[in-house]
Amino acid sequence: MTVSSADAAAAPAPARLGERFLAEIREQPDALARLLDGADAFERVARTIHERGATTIRMVGHGSSDNAASYGVYAFGLLPGWTALRDSISLTVYYDAALDMRGCTALALSQSGRTPDVVEYLVRARDRGAYTVALTNDPGSALAAAAEDVLPLAAGPELAVAATKTYLNQVAALGLLAASAAGEGESFVGGLRDARDAVSRLVHELEPRIASLALPFAFAGRMFVVGRGAEYATAREIALKLLETCRVAAEPLTATDLAHGPVAALDPLFPVWAIASDDDTLPAVLEAAARAREAGATLIASGSAAAAVPGAAYVLGVPRLSSPLLSPLLSVVPGQLFAWALATAKGLDADEPRGLSKVTLAR
């Protein structure tokens, strides 16, 4: 078949690999703005938690939602001083453990609101006395119907399989709910507005140079991603993005975990990503990074204190914000962009990773 030059000019250009994934990374400032438009709902849910004395927060979710819950442990612990945990879905749904959930808020995180065992967890938690809240991108979903209250993520439709803007809004939402419970909602909203602007600038500045940074890792098949405190959620999320989109066997570790065995696996072909924030966790992260470098690992450093990481070959710093609990909103962005660029360098489509779908319906 012969194609004329006129036909070629009229034909649509082929889709760019990872086009939707990148578009949704760029959209994150707008997604945060939409979340902030609904800030009153977080004040209302925080009041209900207080009124019902449901101040033990049990969070459940899968994938990126579970990663965001790791952040929630710190947000609720540091702001209102409440116990928060990533609860076991299996214990409640599969083993049918007779747990007394009076005095608890069961907070279910799901982008789609359609994952069966997350919905079933919320149904059973409500039967066992918990105050049930759905944090979802679909207020009309089965999860929302099962909950007593709904906090909409307002991230807008997410078309790429690997989550970006919904993860960021989940982290922001958990921080906002915790701050509202502590009577600090208004100031946290101000901090989120600053974070929104900083994310916009960061994406604009980092995107043009991320391809050249990612290219040397095109043949890397494994990586450790190290974080501590609230940034452990970031470590988990960056590792998941590398697994999903780049086929890199990335494992998240706390800074202390690295020294308890995993450091023995390191060599010059085993990169380590260190997330360093300018807070009380920094000394532990710097020590872990130094040990990784001594083992010969190539270091990538991100976070508000990335420049302080010893021996980092690649530094992806982010601005410092008013609170360490805002930092994870920025520190995940270099990882998202790096995953997009690395997948592209490897000829992979970050929009549709092999074997994955947007909603996990299997139980």
Q: What pTM was estimated for this model as a whole?
A: 0.92
User: Are 80 and 34 within one domain?
Assistant: yes
Average pLDDT over residues 147-157: 95
User: Are 250 and 156 within one domain?
Assistant: no
18 alpha carbon, distance to own chain's centre: 18
Domain that holds residue 266: 199-345
What span, in angstroms and rounded, lies between the C-alpha atoms of 200 and 186?
22
Neighbours of 78 (CB within 10 A): 18
Is 5's pLDDT higher than 50?
A: no
**Domain end residue (candidates: 183, 216, 237):** 183
How much of the chain exceeds pLDDT 90, in percent?
82
| The pLDDT value given to residue 361 | 52
| The pLDDT value given to residue 3 | 34
User: Are 271 and 318 within one domain?
Assistant: yes
Average pLDDT over residues 66-77: 98
Q: Is residue 307 part of a domain?
A: yes
Q: Is residue 357 part of a domain?
A: no
Segment 176-232, tens digit of pLDDT: 999 999 999 999 999 999 999 999 999 999 999 999 999 999 988 999 999 999 999
Segment 108-145, tens digit of pLDDT: 999 999 999 999 999 999 999 999 999 999 999 999 99
| The pLDDT value given to residue 10 | 44
Q: What's the Cα-to-Cα distance from 187 to each of 191, 312, 320, 322, 326, rounded to whole Å? A: 6, 35, 16, 10, 12
- CATH assignment of the domain containing 157: 3.40.50.10490
User: Are 41 and 178 within one domain?
Assistant: yes
Average pLDDT over residues 71-86: 98
User: Are 88 and 178 within one domain?
Assistant: yes
Is 51's pLDDT higher than 90?
A: yes
Tokens of 347: 């000829």
User: Are 51 and 167 within one domain?
Assistant: yes
User: Are 75 and 118 within one domain?
Assistant: yes
User: Are 145 and 208 within one domain?
Assistant: no
User: Are 48 and 94 within one domain?
Assistant: yes
